[in-house]
């Protein structure tokens, strides 16, 4: 079993409900078990600011799936929630990203692990640190070091 982390975000159609529903569907992925779930956090959008704030969370899983299989499963969950890929950094009913997959470092047209912006996004690092404060991001370093270099004031814990 490999440990992986999935980032969740939503700012449309009852975002808290969308996140909670997506977490339930992640629980149903075959050969995968959720081992921890962060609190929910509210954050300002990346990119265009003329949209609602986001609700974010991070889920830690153990899985027997390979990275591309996991990607397919989470994209199926996005489709079930009505996700339509449109404007970059635009409003989203749900966004699920593989943040890390074990110690794997990979980049191709379909998937980049760890997530290419993980080290720059407080709305990912804060909930990730909540569930795994000793986490080290492959190729980027300890999460504690990364958190020390970014502004966390736009991330507010909800529950």
- Could you read off the pLDDT of 27-73 as tens digits, one per residue? 999 999 999 999 999 998 876 666 788 999 999 999 999 999 999 99
Task: Report d(CA 112, CA 92) in Å as an integer.
Answer: 20
Verify whether residue 95 is a known catalytic residue: yes
Domains of the chain in start order, with CATH, are 2-157 (3.30.70.560)
Q: pLDDT for 117-149, tens place per residue?
A: 998 999 999 999 999 999 999 999 999 999 999
Catalytic residue among 50, 53, 88, 95: 95
What would the two tokens of residue 34 be? 């959720």
Verify whether residue 97 is a known catalytic residue: yes
Catalytic residue among 50, 53, 83, 121: 83
User: What's CA 4's distance to the chain center, in Å?
Assistant: 10
Q: Residue 145, SS3? A: helix
Verify whether residue 83 is a known catalytic residue: yes
Verify whether residue 92 is a known catalytic residue: yes
């Amino acid at each position: 079993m490999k440990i992986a982390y999935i980032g969740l975000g939503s700012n449309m159609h009852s975002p808290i409900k969308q996140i909670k529903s997506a977490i339930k569907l992640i629980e149903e992925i075959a050969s995968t078990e959720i081992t921890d779930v962060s609190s929910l956090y509210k954050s300002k959008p990346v990119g265009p600011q003329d949209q609602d704030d986001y609700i974010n969370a991070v889920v830690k899983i153990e899985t027997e799936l390979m990275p591309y299989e996991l990607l397919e499963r989470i994209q199926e969950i996005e489709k079930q929630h009505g996700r339509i890929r449109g404007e970059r950094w635009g409003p989203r009913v749900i966004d699920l990203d593989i943040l890390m997959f074990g110690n794997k470092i990979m980049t191709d047209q379909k998937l980049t692990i760890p997530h290419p912006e993980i080290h720059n996004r407080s709305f990912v690092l804060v909930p990730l640190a909540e569930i795994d404060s000793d986490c080290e991001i492959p190729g980027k370093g300890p999460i504690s070091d990364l958190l020390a270099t970014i502004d966390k004031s736009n991330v507010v814990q909800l529950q």
